[in-house]
Structure 1
C-alpha cells in the first residue's frame, strides 16, 4: 500500500512534492531503529551540549547517546563484506567504543555520562530480565523442561574437553601446564568478570598469598579475548546455519520444538494490549527482584534464580496467555531496540582496551582459540549425538566462554539467537560457578 495520501498524490508526469511524501520516505530510512533525520538531529544536539561545556545528567540524554553510538557502530559492522556475516555488528558495537575511549576520541563528558548511567542504573540486568522472561514464556512447556535437562550434557562434555585441549596446547607452547590451566583455561570458562574473574582472583590471592589486584589484571584480558573468540565463532556458526539449514533450529534447541508465540510478529503486534505489555515488563522486573532477594539470602546469582522462577511459573500455568504475548512483545522490543545501545555502553564503561591488548601474544592467542573452539566443537558433536540442533548447542557452549552477561548478549547477537538467553545464562552462571569452585579446590590441593 502506498503511503502517499490521495490529497497529496502527484499528478501523472509531475514531480512528487517534498512535503510530506518525500520527507516521510526519508523518515523511513534508518540507522538501526533511528530515522536518519532524527539521527542527524541527535548528533547535532549532543555535539552542541559538548561544545557548551557539559551534558545534562538525564536519562533521556544518556539514551540518546547510547542509541546514536550503538546503532552507528553496528551499522558499520553490518556493511563490511565477509565479516558482516560473522557477527561484526556486535563486535563493532562493543569494541570500537572501547578503543575510541582509550585513544581519547570520545569527549570526556560523553564517556562520563555513559559510564555513570551504565553503572548507576545497572540496566544490563533489566535487559537480561526482559529477554529471559520473554523467551521462556514463548517456549513450549514440554520442550522447555527437556531442553533444560539435556543442555547440561554438551555443556559438561565441552567443559572437560576444553580443559584438556587448552591445557595441552598451552603446555606445548611453553606456557606450563599449571599456568595454562589456572590462568588461561579456567578464566575463560569462569563466567565473566563479576561472577568469574573477581572471585577467582580473590581465591587465587588467598591460596597463593599474592595481591588480588595483580592476579585480576592477569586473568581479565584472558576473559575478554575468550569472549571475543566466542563472538567470532558464533557469528561463523550463524553463517554456517544459513548455508546448511538442517544443522540449525534458528534458535530452537531440538527438532519438534515450537514457540507458543509462533503467530507472526505483525499479528502479535495487532492483538497485544499495551496494558499487557506493561504488565509483562513489571512481571519480569518482579521476577528479577525475587532473584535479588535470593542472592542476599543465599548468595545464589540473581539471574539464575529469576530463570528458574520464570520456568516454574511457566510450568505451573501462572502466566495467562495475554500476559505471555505481552512478555513476547517486551522481548522483541529489547532484542531489536536495546541490544546495540547496551553493547555500546558496555564498550565505553566496562571494556578496558589496554587490558584487552595486553594479552595479545601468540602463545596466549593460540591457547585461547583452542580452548574456545574445542568447547564449541564438543557442544556441536555431542548436541548432534543426543538429537539436538548442533549449531544451537555449540552457541550455548560458546556462552560458557563469554564475558558474563555482556558476553552472552554479544554472542547471541552475533549469532542472531537471542532466544537462547535462558540456556546461555545456565552456561555462564551455573557453568562458571562450578568452574570457579572446582578450580579453587584443585589449586588448594595441588597448587
Structure 2
C-alpha cells in the first residue's frame, strides 16, 4: 500500500491542532461557576489554598474580591443544581446561610474569615450595591407609571401588615405563646425593617420602656427577624416558580400592566451600544446620590437609602438625566445584579448572619407563628395587588421584603425571586414600612405598660 503524500497529512494535523487549541480551550473557558470561567476558578482555588498554607492571606481589595467571588458563586452553584430547591431560591439561601454555618462552626480558615469580615465592615459595600441597583432600575423605569407605582404599593403593604399582625398574634396565642409576647417579640420584629433599622431601635425602645437590659431584649427580637427573612426568601422563590407556571399573574419584575423600561431592546443587551464614559458617569452618579442620602441621614435622621431613592425619582420625573446617562445606569444595574449579588450574599452570611441566633428560633411554636405571619403578609399583598390592577406576584414579593432582614434581606429575597429591578420599591417596603412599624409599636407598648 502506498503511503499518503505529505501534503495530505499536514492539513489533517493542522486541523486536529486547531480543534484542540484554541477552540477546545475556549470551550473550557466558557464553562463557568457563576460568572467565573472554570480554569480561572480552579486557579483561584489553588492560589487561595496557597496563601492559607503560607499563613497569611493578603488583605488588599483584589484578594477580598476573589474570596467573595469564589465563596459566593460556589454556594450559589450548589443551590442551582438541586432538583426542586433551585426553583424556590436555593441559590440565594445557600449563598447566605452556608457561609454563616461555616463561620459559626469555624470551618472557614481564620485568615479567610478575618479578611471577609474586615472587608465587609470597613467598605460597607452593601450600600454601593443598593445604590447601583436603585439608581439603575429607577432611571430605566417608565416615567408615566413610576409615581403611580410608588403610591399604590402602600395599600397592599398597609393591608398586609395589619392582616399579618392579626393572624400571627392569633396563631401564637392559640399555640400558648401569649398574645403580648407573640405580638411584641415575634410578629413586630419580623416587620420592623431588619436588624440595624428594626431590631436594634426596637430593642432600645423596649429596654427603655420596660427598664430591661437592651442586650437581653435584642437577643429575643433578633431570631424572629432572621427566621422571618429566611421564610420570605423561600416563599419568594416559590412565587417565582408560580409565575413561570402562570405568566398572567406576573410582570416579571414590573409592578403593573403597561409598564416598560425606557431602554430599547438593543440597549438592554449590554454595554456594546453604550459609551464606557456614560457607564462610568452613571456609576459616580449613583455614588453621589448615596452620599446625598448619607447627608440627609446626618442632618434629618432620615434613612440614607430612602433619601437616595427619592432624589433618584425626582431626577427621573424631571428629566434631569440624559438618555445616555440612563443607558449607562442600566448597564451599571445589570453589572451589579449579575456579578456582585452572590459574593455580597456570601459576605452577609459570614459577617452579618449569626447562625446561633437563627437556630435559636427553630422551635415548632415559633416556626409556625413566623411562617403564618410572613405567609399572611404575602398572601394579602397578592390579593390586594390584584384588586388594584397590580401584578399580584410582584406585590406579594414586595410585601415579603417588609418581613426581610433589612437591605440584606431585600437582596436575598429579590435574588430568590429573580426580580432585582424591584429594589426601589423593596426599599420603600423595608425602610418606611419598618420605621412606621417600630414607631407605632413603641407607642402601643408605652400605653400598655
TM-score > 0.5, shorter chain as reference = yes
Aligned partner of 1:40 in structure 2 is 42
Aligned partner of 2:379 in structure 1 is 377
- Looking at structure 2, the residues matched to 104 and 291 of structure 1 have their Cα atoms a distance apart, in angstroms, of 37
The TM-score, its normalising length taken from structure 1, stands at 0.97
Cα shift at 1:17: 4.0
Query: Mapping of 1:293-442 within 5 angstroms?
Result: 293-442=295-444
Cα shift at 1:19: 2.2
**Are residues 1:169 and 2:178 paired?**
no
Deviation track 1:3-47 (CA, whole Å, cap 9, x = no partner) reads xxxxx9977984754322211111111000000000011111111
Aligned partner of 1:58 in structure 2 is 60
Partner of 2:422, secondary structure, is helix
Larger Rg: 2
Confirm or deny: 8 A CA contact 1:230 1:401 kept in the other structure.
Answer: yes
Cα shift at 1:203: 0.3
CA shift in 2, pair 1:266/1:398, >3 Å: closer
Query: Mapping of 1:256-271 within 5 angstroms?
Result: 256-264=258-266, 267-271=269-273
Aligned residues: 440
Deviation track 1:311-355 (CA, whole Å, cap 9, x = no partner) reads 000011110000000000000000000000000000001111011
Confirm or deny: 8 A CA contact 2:193 2:405 kept in the other structure.
Answer: yes
Cα shift at 1:126: 0.2
Unmatched segments (≥5 aa) in structure 1: 1-7
Aligned partner of 2:222 in structure 1 is 220
Deviation track 1:269-296 (CA, whole Å, cap 9, x = no partner) reads 2210000000000000000100000000
- Looking at structure 2, the residues matched to 284 and 269 of structure 1 have their Cα atoms a distance apart, in angstroms, of 17
The TM-score, its normalising length taken from structure 2, stands at 0.96
Aligned partner of 1:74 in structure 2 is 76
CA shift in 2, pair 1:266/1:174, >3 Å: closer
Give the alignment partner of residue 32 of structure 2, picking from 26, 30, 33: 30
Aligned partner of 2:93 in structure 1 is 91
- Looking at structure 2, the residues matched to 14 and 276 of structure 1 have their Cα atoms a distance apart, in angstroms, of 44
- Looking at structure 2, the residues matched to 369 and 266 of structure 1 have their Cα atoms a distance apart, in angstroms, of 38
Aligned partner of 1:233 in structure 2 is 235
**Are residues 1:185 and 2:187 paired?**
yes
Deviation track 1:172-200 (CA, whole Å, cap 9, x = no partner) reads 00000000000000000000000000000
- Looking at structure 2, the residues matched to 15 and 77 of structure 1 have their Cα atoms a distance apart, in angstroms, of 38
Aligned partner of 2:248 in structure 1 is 246
Deviation track 1:343-385 (CA, whole Å, cap 9, x = no partner) reads 0000001111011001110110000000000000000000000
Unmatched segments (≥5 aa) in structure 2: 1-9
Confirm or deny: 8 A CA contact 2:267 2:273 kept in the other structure.
Answer: no
Partner of 2:265, secondary structure, is coil
CA shift in 2, pair 1:58/1:14, >3 Å: closer
Root-mean-square deviation (CA, aligned residues, Å) is: 1.4
Cα shift at 1:249: 0.1
Runs of 4 or more above 6 Å deviation: 8-13
Cα shift at 1:262: 3.9
